[in-house]
Structure formats: C-alpha cells, structure tokens
Amino acid sequence: MQNTHSEVFHRQAASKARLLTLSVGHTVCDAFVSTLTPLWPVIARMFALSQAQAGWIMQLLGIVMNFGQPVLGYITDRYRLRRLVVVAMLLSTVFLTTFGYMQSLWLMMLWLAAGAFGVALYHPRAGALAAAASGRRWALGMAVFGAGGSLGCALGTWIAPILYNINNSLTGLAYAMPVGIAMVAALVVINPESAEGAVQTAAFSLRRNLLPRAWVVAPLFVVMLLRATAIIGFNSFIPFLIDARGLPLTLAGQAGLLFLGGGAIGGLIGGRLSEWSGPRALTITSLLASVPLLYASLHVLGMPFLLMLFVCGVMLRSADSVNIALMQQLVPEGQSLASSLGMGLVWGIGGFITPLVGKLSDLHGEVYALTWVLCLPAVAAVVAVWTPKHMPATQRPAAGADQQADC
C-alpha cells in the first residue's frame, strides 16, 4: 500500500511538473508574439503605414499564427506527431526576438511569419498535453495553461516598450532571447510528452469524430469567436488610442499589461468558479458584465482608464479557458485540434476585425470604432444559451495511469 501511495504521489508530481512547464512555455511563447502589439505604431511610422494598412498586416500574421493552428492540430492528431513543442519554442524565440534587425517591410514580415509559425505549432500540441496532465480537474488545469498564455500576452505587451527604449530601436527585443533559450532547455529536460500513455488514442477523423458533434460544438465555437474578436479589437487599437491622445508609448505597454494580465487572473478565477457554476452560467454572466465595463473604459483617462482595463480583462476572459476545456471534452479524440479551435482558429477569424476597426478609426476616431466592437460580447452571451450547461466529464480520452492525477 505504501508503494502504491508513493507511486500515486510521483505520478501527481510528474503531472504537475508537465503542466507547469507547458504553462510557462505558453507564457514565453505568447509574450514573444505580444511584443508586437504596442510597437505597431512604431512599425507604422517606420514604413509610413496608415492604421488600416497596419490592420491588414496584423491580419496577415494572424492567418499564419491562428489559421495555422487547426491545420497543425489536425495533422498532429491524425498522424500522432510528437516532439513538436521544443521545435515550436525555438522558432518563436529566434524569429520573434530578432525581426527588428530587418531593414525592409517585406523581409520583416517574412521574419515575423516564421516566428508566428512557431507560435502556431506550439499551441495545439501543448494544449493537448496540458489537458492530459490535468487529470480529473480538467477545467482548472486548462485554466492554468490558459492563464499562462494570458500572462505572456500581458508581459510581452508591457516589456516591449522597455526593450525598445534600451536601443531606441526594435533591435532591443533581442535582449529577451535568453529567456526563450532557457525555456527550450526546460522543455527538453522535463519532456512533457514523456507520458505516452496519456495520448494513446485512435487516429482522429473529421468525419467520424467531429462532424457528428457539430450541432453542440458550433454554438460554443461561435461564443469563443465573438469573444476573441472583441478582445482583438480592443487590444490591437488601445495603443493607437493612447498614441492619438499624445500619451507615451510606455502607457500602451501598461494598458496591455493590465488588460491581458486581468485576463490571466480572470481565467484562474473562472476555472475555479466553473467547478460549481458550470461553464454556461459562467460564460453568459462574464460576457454580459463585460459590455458596460468596456464602454466605460473608453470614456475615462489616467489611472481610472488603466484600472478599468484590468477589470475588463478579468471579466471578459474568465470563461475563456473553461470553454477550451469544454471543447476538448466534446472532441476527446482530437485534443490538439480541439485546443487549436479555441486558441487559434477563433483568433484568426476574429483578426479580420482589425482592418475594419482601423478604417473606422481613420474616419471617425478610435472611440467610435471600438464602441461598435461592444456589440460582440452581448451577441455571444445570447449564443451561449445553446452551449452545454455542464462539463461532459464522461467523455474523456483514453489515458494512462498518470492521467488520474489531479493537477
């Protein structure tokens, strides 16, 4: 019996180590790509771009990073590819910290696309591995993993202006490269894919495993899509709003830190709350509450503006990771694909809003453009009525013994 308890303890410790490593990797990966957000006004000035043109460039990168995820997720599930997270982290590190050395717009975009591919490669596989390492507390485990990504987005947005100011150039981002190299080493040592039993399921098939469940998957996907679109709209053009008010670039980094950092905290809170409220109630409540908060944030200045953005982030993203966990349970045979739908595809499609918001901003100002974005969470709350009320805990993928460990 003592040996059994010892084995359980070691399995639980190993699962927690894998989940923590994957979550920190999520932080680092998303931090690198999020350094772009507050620096878009700088890039726009460097190459004499309008806000609408900058929006189109954002979307082109989003196509690589977000639309690439479901494709890579499907390939991973279909052919059971392994050992991808290390390669993904290395690509993200090298290309997203050195794009500032590129002297032409086209070369810079090519460099950024390579880094975006690394981000696209990391998310589906890491999300599936995080679900496997979470054990019975699937929603909470995915909340931890999702919070890692939200924290990374916040840190990247905050640190980017600081690194830029070191050299007064985009080349300052290269000072972040050692962090990525250290993360690559951690992924090699911990090897989150070492628990092979947790991922041994039959090869995934769209026709057999996804299409029969489309009626229940579709409303959840729409909810995640509308939420992601609203977040992209605000996060992408808050720096332009701050720049238009003549405020310093560092304030854009602080605003992004609070908005996205609030999302990380909201995800952790939501992971806990969903265990007794259920995903549907949490989703509807958080979406409805976010609408007046987002509106208020557009009409205040100074410290109230920053604090309001933080509260908006907490509320808007509190059900984000819970919805991803629910998607994974609805499609248990395709964990990587299910992860990519919530962490990639919805953000790719939602990114199409950036040219529209950019055009409205050029014509009528940022406040006017972002006010229209507020409709999206309200519509999402209505659609959420057709999502599952509770987690379908019986739909678990086949797992090895380590998957029985709590996160």
Which pLDDT tens digit goes with each residue over 134-167? 777 766 788 888 888 888 887 888 889 889 988 8
Q: Whole-angstrom Cα distance, residue 144 to residue 5?
A: 26
Nearest residue to 227 via CA among 72, 334, 381, 1? 381
Q: Residues 86-107: what's their mean pLDDT?
A: 91
The pLDDT assigned to 52 comes to 73
Q: Rg for the chain (alpha carbons), in Å?
A: 20
Predicted confidence (pLDDT) at residue 196 exceeds the cutoff of 70: no
* Residue 104 DSSP label: S
Q: Residues 330-340: what's their mean pLDDT?
A: 77
Place of tokens 């041994």: 200
Those residues with Cβ within 8 angstroms of residue 117's Cβ, 6 or more apart along the chain or in another chain: 64, 65, 68, 91
Q: 247 or 86, which is more confident?
A: 86
The pLDDT assigned to 3 comes to 55
Count H helices and E strands in the chain, helices first: 18, 0
Predicted confidence (pLDDT) at residue 402 exceeds the cutoff of 50: no
CB-based contact 176:155 (threshold 8 Å): no
Domain spans of the chain, in order of start? 10-193+203-396
Query: Following DSSP, what letter does each residue of 160-179 receive, concatenated?
Result: HHHHHHHHTSGGGGGGGHHH
Place of tokens 């509450």: 289
> Is-above-0.85 flag for pTM?
no
Q: Residues 294-313: what's their mean pLDDT?
A: 88
Q: Whole-angstrom Cα distance, residue 304 to residue 313?
A: 14
From residue 225, how far is each of 89, 99, 216, 348 by CA, in Å?
26, 29, 15, 9
Those residues with Cβ within 8 angstroms of residue 375's Cβ, 6 or more apart along the chain or in another chain: none
The pLDDT assigned to 75 comes to 80
The pLDDT assigned to 202 comes to 57
Band of the pLDDT at 175, cuts 50, 70, 90? very high
Residue 395 CB coordination number (10 Å): 13
Nearest residue to 19 via CA among 113, 141, 196? 141
Q: 2 or 289, which is more confident?
A: 289
- Mean per-residue pLDDT of the chain: 82
Nearest residue to 371 via CA among 295, 292, 259? 295
The pLDDT assigned to 5 comes to 63
* Residue 246 DSSP label: T
Band of the pLDDT at 342, cuts 50, 70, 90? confident
Write the CATH number of the domain with boundaries 10-193+203-396.
Answer: 1.20.1250.20
Q: 336 or 93, which is more confident?
A: 93
The pLDDT assigned to 88 comes to 93
Q: Residues 92-120: what's their mean pLDDT?
A: 91
Min mean pLDDT across 211-215, 279-283, 370-374 is at 211-215
Q: Whole-angstrom Cα distance, residue 335 to residue 172?
A: 37
Structure tokens belonging to residue 209: 């495993």
The pLDDT assigned to 183 comes to 95
What percentage of the chain exceeds 90 in pLDDT?
A: 26
Handedness of CA 331, 337, 341, 343 (dihedral sign): positive
CB-based contact 291:240 (threshold 8 Å): no
Min mean pLDDT across 168-177, 237-246, 254-263, 389-398 is at 389-398
The pLDDT assigned to 400 comes to 37
Q: Whole-angstrom Cα distance, residue 352 to residue 233?
A: 9
Band of the pLDDT at 273, cuts 50, 70, 90? confident
